[in-house]
Amino acid sequence: MACKNEEMKLYQTWLGKADAEDILAELRAVEGDEMGISDRFYRYLEFGTGGLRGVIGAGTNRMNVYTVSMAAQALADYLAQKEGQHAVAIGYDSRNKSTDFAKCAAATLASNGVKVYIFPELQPTPVLSYAVRQLNCSAGIVITASHNPAKYNGFKCYGGDGCQMTDGAAGEVYSFMKKLDIFDDVKRGDFDELMAQGMISWIDDSLVESFLDSVQACSINPGVCRDSGLKVVYTPLCGAGNKPVRAILKRIGIDDVTVVPEQEKPDGNFTTCPKPNPEFREAFECALKLAETVKPDLLLATDPDSDRVGIAVESDGQYILMSGNEVGALMLNYMLSCRKEQGNLPKNPVCVSTIVSSDLGTEIAEKYGCEMRRVLTGFKYIGEIIGWLEADGEKERFIMGYEESYGYLCGTYARDKDAVVASMMICEMAAYYKKQKKSLLDVMAEIYNDFHYYGNRLLNYEFEGEEGVKFMNSVMDKLRTNPPADIAGDRVVTVSDYKLSVRKNLADGSESEIKLPKSNVLAYKMESGSSFIVRPSGTEPKIKIYVAAVGSRESANAKLDEFEKAGNSIMGK
C-alpha cells in the first residue's frame, strides 16, 4: 500500500513536533516503510460513544499521549460551552501506558481550568461511574481497553450522570476534536505543578469504601455465605479487580478464596492471558490448573477493568464455563424469586437487557410480573433507564440490568456494568443453592426445564487495518441491500434494520418503526424462532454475529452449528 501525500506530511510533522522519546523512536523505526506509515496516519482515531480505542503507538491512528491529550482538550472545549464550574473524575486500569494517559488527560483538563479528581491507583470502571456522581462531576474518563489484547488502550468518556456518553454528547466532543491541531491547539501542563496548585486532587480511599458499602447493600440474602463452605478460585486477569473483588467477598463471608498467583498483580502485557476476556476459556487456563489442587466449587474471572465477570462451575470434577446469557438468567431468577418470597419485590419491577441477549430472560421476567426492557448493545442504555426511573422517583423498580457479554449490574449506585457486585451476587447465589444441595448448573438445568433450552453462540470475525474497515462496511451494505430469504435453510420471517429504524415482516410486507437510537445492526428472526444478528463492534476491528436457537439441547446446538457455517460463508471465512 502506497503512502498518500497527506499521510506522509503528517508523519513528517510528527517527526518535527513530537517530543516523547518512545514516539520518536517508533517514528524513526518506520522510516521508508510506506505501509507502516500509512497505517499509523491514514486516519485520526474517532471519538465515539466508547471514546477512543486503538493500538498503542505513534501516529494519529494510535493511542498515545498526543491523541489522548487531544481528546481531553476536546472534552474541555465541550464543557466550556456549558455554564458553571466543571470537574472531571479520572480512573484507569492496568494496561500499558494507562497511568501516563490518565495523567496527561488530567493535565490537559486542568490547564483548561477544569478541576480534576484522579484515583491514586487502578480501579474498576464501575468505581469511576460511581465517583462521577458522588463528586458532582460534569464528566468522567477511564483509561482502558476493557478485555482487548495488550496492544490496545482506550479513553472511555462518561457524562455527569455516570453513564458512558450518549451518541449526541460524543458527537459534540468529536466535532470539537476535529477542529484541533494535535500539537498547536492542545494545552499540556505539568501534572505535579497542577496538583500543587489544587487543580488536580487525588480521590480519597473513603470513596472506594463507600462504593463497596453500596455494592454490599445489594445483597438479597445477607449472611447466607458465612457458613456455606463455598470455595472459590479467583483471577483478576492481571487487572483492577483484585482488591475490590476480594474485599467484597470477604465482607459477605466468603473466606475460602484462592487467587491465581500469576494473574494477581497488574500486568499490562497480560503475559499469562494474551486475551484477557472471561468470555473465552483461554482466560481460565491458569485458574483451571489451580483448581486441580484447590478443588473449588466455583471459578471467577474478571476482565482488566473489572466490569465483566465470567464463571466456571464444578461438575463431577470438571469445570463447566457458563455463558453470559446463562449467568444473567440465573441472577434474574434468583433475585426475583427470593424477593417475591421475602415480600419485598417492588410494584411494577423492571429489568433491562439488550437486543442481542437471550429471550430466556424475558420469559423469567414475565413469570414474576417483571417488565423486561430491551435496549441496544452498550451499557449506557441500561444506565439511561436507571436515570429515567430515578427522575420519576421510581428507581426502586430497577431489579438488574445485564448484557450477554458478561456485564451485570444490580442496584442503582452505578450506571455501568460492575464485576464487583456481579462477583458478590454469583457467590451469594452459589452459597444459597449449595445449602439446598444444588450447584448453579443444577439450577440452570431447572430453569431450562421450566421454560425452554436456549442455545446461544457469539461468532467473532476480525478485520484489521484500513482494508478491514472497508470490507466490514461492504458486508453490511450487501446484507442491507440484499437481505437473505433464509439462513442455513431456515426461512427469515422478519428483518430488523436498526440503522434505518425499520422492522419488516416478510410474510405480508408490513413495516413497523423500531423506537431505539439508530445503530448499524441487522437482525433476522427465523420461522423456527431462531435468530441471527449481525453487528460491527463499536470498539474493536471486528464484526460480531449473535446466533440463537430454541429447542432441545441437541437440536438447538445443531442449529447453531449450521448458523456458524452460514456466518463463515457471509464473512468469506
Residue 221 neighbours by CB under 8 Å, 6+ apart: 338, 428, 432
CA 97 – CA 449 distance, rounded (Å) = 48
Instruction: Give Cα 14 distance to the centre of its chain.
Output: 33
- Residue 470: CB atoms within 10 A of its CB come to 11
Residue 505 neighbours by CB under 8 Å, 6+ apart: 493, 494, 511, 512
User: Can you say whether the dihedral through the CA atoms of 9, 11, 15, 19 is positive or negative?
Assistant: positive
Look at the block and give the residue holding cell 490518565: 102
User: Can you say whether the dihedral through the CA atoms of 97, 236, 327, 526 is positive or negative?
Assistant: positive
Instruction: Give Cα 525 distance to the centre of its chain.
Output: 26
201 counts as catalytic: no
* Three cell numbers, residue 520: 448499524
| R_g over Cα of the chain | 24
CA 77 – CA 172 distance, rounded (Å) = 10
Helix 242-251 vs helix 205-216: angle between axes, to the nearest 10 degrees? Answer: 50
User: Can you say whether the dihedral through the CA atoms of 539, 540, 545, 550 is positive or negative?
Assistant: negative
**Amino acid sitting at position 351:** C
CA 439 – CA 298 distance, rounded (Å) = 9
- Among candidate residues 539, 542, 544, 543, the one with its CA nearest the CA of residue 54: 539
Look at the block and give the residue holding cell 432441545: 552
What is the DSSP track for 75-89? HHHHHHTSSS--EEE
Catalytic residue among 146, 219, 358, 519: 146
Look at the block and give the residue holding cell 479520572: 90
The strand pair at 486-487 and 200-202 is best described as unpaired
CA 396 – CA 481 distance, rounded (Å) = 44
Active-site amino acid positions: 146
